[in-house]
Structure 1
Amino acid sequence: MTNLDNIKLKELMKIEPESMSKQEYESFVEEFKKSQLLLPVEIYSNNDVNEPLSFKPVTIEENGCKCIPLFTDNEELKKGNPPVSTIAIFMKDLKDMLENAFEIDEIMINLSSEYTMCIDLNSFFDLFEVKNDPNNWIFDKARPLNQEVKVYYREEKPLMKKQAVDGIYSSKDPFKASVNMYFDDHIPYLNVLILPKNTKTVYLGGMIDPETSCDILLAPETEFEFVSQEDEHTMLWKCVNQKFYDN
């Protein structure tokens, strides 16, 4: 078996994506892009003695998605009760291999680990195009919504409402929310955020579990207008501006 050194990558994978600093995110991208991971494959023959053996990646079904499993090292590989055959492949070579793989939805790294990471295929390709602009590093991945959606943000105290100026709340920091209404439902105050069509968001759902982490990121200076007090603990807001993208 191939011995791989992905210690730094594994350490970075322990950090939840929405909690990564710019430096940590850039380190993760750098490590991931140059990494060589173990890819389970199916070996087959074309029944032609003059042709070499060929292979194709093993795929698995996970939550209705077709995934390609990858492993950082032999230790992680053994946890997953792996197929017999694996190859060590650089991520740039995997990217080239998957350019036209329309049937693949995402890749999954260390699927039996406590720190499993899933990356949808478009985000995987995007990692090879990340710019080192300190003003938009993770928001290069932001995409406009194709329809209005609601996301949710909980607080121990209703600070959004208290800090709003003339009914408008905004923060200089990136804003984290969840598509799961019941995420952290032990926290008493619920802010329901209406994101109109074309609001730019970074969706992390392909990389993290929405049951345990916020999966929506909004750029700094996103403005929310207070709409109504639905009940004692529930406030309704609407996104009305994203100054971050004005330039």
Structure 2
Amino acid sequence: MSSLDNAKLKELMKIEPESMSKEEYESFVSEFKNAQLLLPVEIYSKTQSDEINEPLSFKPVTIEENGCKCIPLFTDNEELKKDNPPVSVIAIFMKDLKDMLEDSSEIDEIMINPSSKDTVCIDLDSFFDLFEVRNNPNDWIFEKARPLNQEVKVYYRELEPFMKKQAVGGVYSSPDPLKASVNMHFDDNIPYLNVLILPKDTRTVYLGGMMDPEMSCDILLAPETEFEFVSQEDEHTMIWKCVNQKFYD
């Protein structure tokens, strides 16, 4: 199999999503959309005929990850060997993969280099959306934020209780994007814990799968997200509820 050149894409995959500049994000989208990646496939005949001229078809191999059905993709042969995949592999352009999956109802996500520490996981809707990204300097990273389908709690830690100190009338408004984690024990060496209740329909940028939630924040909330103080559970733990997201007004 000929060697694929996805070196720039691999370099961009090393950058934590919330640390990407607008230029880096646009470069990642461009590299990914135009990439040719390796796709493990199952090859089969549409009929049971053993005729030598019988045309063959293929379907992507899938893996289960956290209850999601994922399609693994690989940037190069080196990454492919880490995963010890089935023998049958094809090189496919991302536009062709998008067209192939357009009517799929079974696939949840695609996963690039699943055995790498720099794995990138993209849900299928976001994968389709990448081909329609608009260059808007004000909301480029949040324009595809998706509403939650149920209430969830996320966790935000501080060295000092700045949220409570800066709240006005019991409401804190985040001036910058706010990074939180679904893992309560994330950065548990930092003393002050803010438990953030995100009601159904709160819009979030989910970074899970692109990062290790044990090590990194995996939820990103837009600037001007407002939280109402609910209660003080103990000296170091405060409960807040998201009540408004002015960014989307």
> After TM superposition, is the score higher than 0.5?
yes
What residue is the counterpart of 2:111 in the other structure? 108
What residue is the counterpart of 2:11 in the other structure? 11
Partners of 1:62 and 1:241 lie apart in 2 by 33
| Residue 59 of structure 1 pairs with residue 62 of structure 2 | yes
Partners of 2:151 and 2:40 lie apart in 1 by 40
Task: Read off the aligned partner of 2:163 and give its amino acid letter.
Answer: M
Task: Read off the aligned partner of 1:176 and give its amino acid letter.
Answer: K
What residue is the counterpart of 2:180 in the other structure? 177
25-34 or 224-233, which deviates more: 224-233
Partners of 2:157 and 2:131 lie apart in 1 by 34
Please state how far the C-alpha of 1:206 moved relative to its aligned partner. 4.2
Residue 191 of structure 2, aligned match among 184, 188, 198 = 188
Please state how far the C-alpha of 1:72 moved relative to its aligned partner. 0.3
| Residue 27 of structure 1 pairs with residue 30 of structure 2 | no
Partners of 1:105 and 1:59 lie apart in 2 by 10
Please state how far the C-alpha of 1:133 moved relative to its aligned partner. 0.8
Equivalent residues, number? 246
Task: Read off the aligned partner of 2:44 and give its amino acid letter.
Answer: Y
Report SS of the residue matched to 1:181. coil
Partners of 1:86 and 1:52 lie apart in 2 by 17
Partners of 1:219 and 1:26 lie apart in 2 by 18
Task: Read off the aligned partner of 2:245 and give its amino acid letter.
Answer: Q
Structure 1: runs of 5+ lacking an equivalent: none
Partners of 2:16 and 2:93 lie apart in 1 by 24
Report SS of the residue matched to 1:205. coil
Partners of 1:114 and 1:198 lie apart in 2 by 31
Partners of 1:84 and 1:123 lie apart in 2 by 29
Please state how far the C-alpha of 1:165 moved relative to its aligned partner. 2.7
Partners of 2:224 and 2:147 lie apart in 1 by 16
Residue 220 of structure 2, aligned match among 217, 220, 239 = 217
TM-score by length of 1: 0.93
48-57 or 66-75, which deviates more: 48-57
Partners of 1:149 and 1:84 lie apart in 2 by 41
Report SS of the residue matched to 2:143. helix
Task: Read off the aligned partner of 2:101 and give its amino acid letter.
Answer: L
Partners of 1:78 and 1:242 lie apart in 2 by 45
| Residue 136 of structure 1 pairs with residue 139 of structure 2 | yes
Structure 2: runs of 5+ lacking an equivalent: none
CA RMSD of aligned residues (A): 1.6
The residue correspondences of 1:88-103 to structure 2 (distance < 5 A) are 88-103=91-106
Partners of 2:81 and 2:41 lie apart in 1 by 15
| Residue 202 of structure 1 pairs with residue 198 of structure 2 | no
Partners of 1:108 and 1:144 lie apart in 2 by 22
What residue is the counterpart of 1:39 in the other structure? 39
Residue 121 of structure 1, aligned match among 118, 121, 124 = 124
Report SS of the residue matched to 1:18. helix
% identical equivalent positions: 84
186-195 or 30-39, which deviates more: 186-195
Task: Read off the aligned partner of 2:2 and give its amino acid letter.
Answer: T
Partners of 1:63 and 1:149 lie apart in 2 by 17
Partners of 2:80 and 2:204 lie apart in 1 by 34
After superposition, give the CA deviation of every residue in 1:86-114 in whole Å (9 maximum; x if it has no partner).
11100010011111221112111112212
Task: Read off the aligned partner of 1:214 and give its amino acid letter.
Answer: C
Partners of 1:114 and 1:34 lie apart in 2 by 23
